[in-house]
Amino acid sequence: TQLLEQSPQFLSIQEGENLTVYCNSSSVFSSLQWYRQEPGEGPVLLVTVVTGGEVKKLKRLTFQFGDARKDSSLHITAAQPGDTGLYLCAGGSNQAGTALIFGKGTTLSVSS
């Protein structure tokens, strides 16, 4: 069974600080996706990484896929209160019809 370990589980920081969320597995994933979820809503896709070593940037968010495609990180620079939410990493296989495996999530709270 493929598992994704996500850390930290909770993070409370001040506006302007930087943070990194980690997603690790002993298994290789064909792709890894990061989602952000607001309370009472479904997750919204932030990014998909598919190539080992890949780095993608989305404004103040930087996503990296490990060389061996077993781990990923999300780095937020100069966090803002609007970044508050639940961040989820999810790993995918190359088989159509298979579900994503989700990490346990990181609840981020950014206070002003």
Residues interacting with other proteins, by CB under 8 A? 6, 30-31, 33, 35, 40-45, 48, 50, 86, 88, 90, 92-105, 107
State whether the Cα torsion 77-60-45-47 is positive or negative. negative
Closest approach of Cβ 94 to other proteins, in Å? 4
Closest approach of Cβ 85 to other proteins, in Å? 11
User: Judged by CB, which is closer to other proteins: 79, or 88?
Assistant: 88
Give the helix/strand (H/E) hosting 80.
Answer: none
Q: Are strands 44-49 and 101-102 parallel, antiparallel or unpaired?
A: unpaired
Distance from C-alpha of 82 to C-alpha of 76, rounded to nearest angstrom: 12
User: Judged by CB, which is closer to other proteins: 76, or 88?
Assistant: 88
Contact 90, 98 (CB under 8 A): no
User: Judged by CB, which is closer to other proteins: 3, or 78?
Assistant: 3
Closest approach of Cβ 88 to other proteins, in Å? 6
User: Judged by CB, which is closer to other proteins: 39, or 82?
Assistant: 39
- Nearest alpha carbon to residue 84 among 59, 57, 109, 54: 109
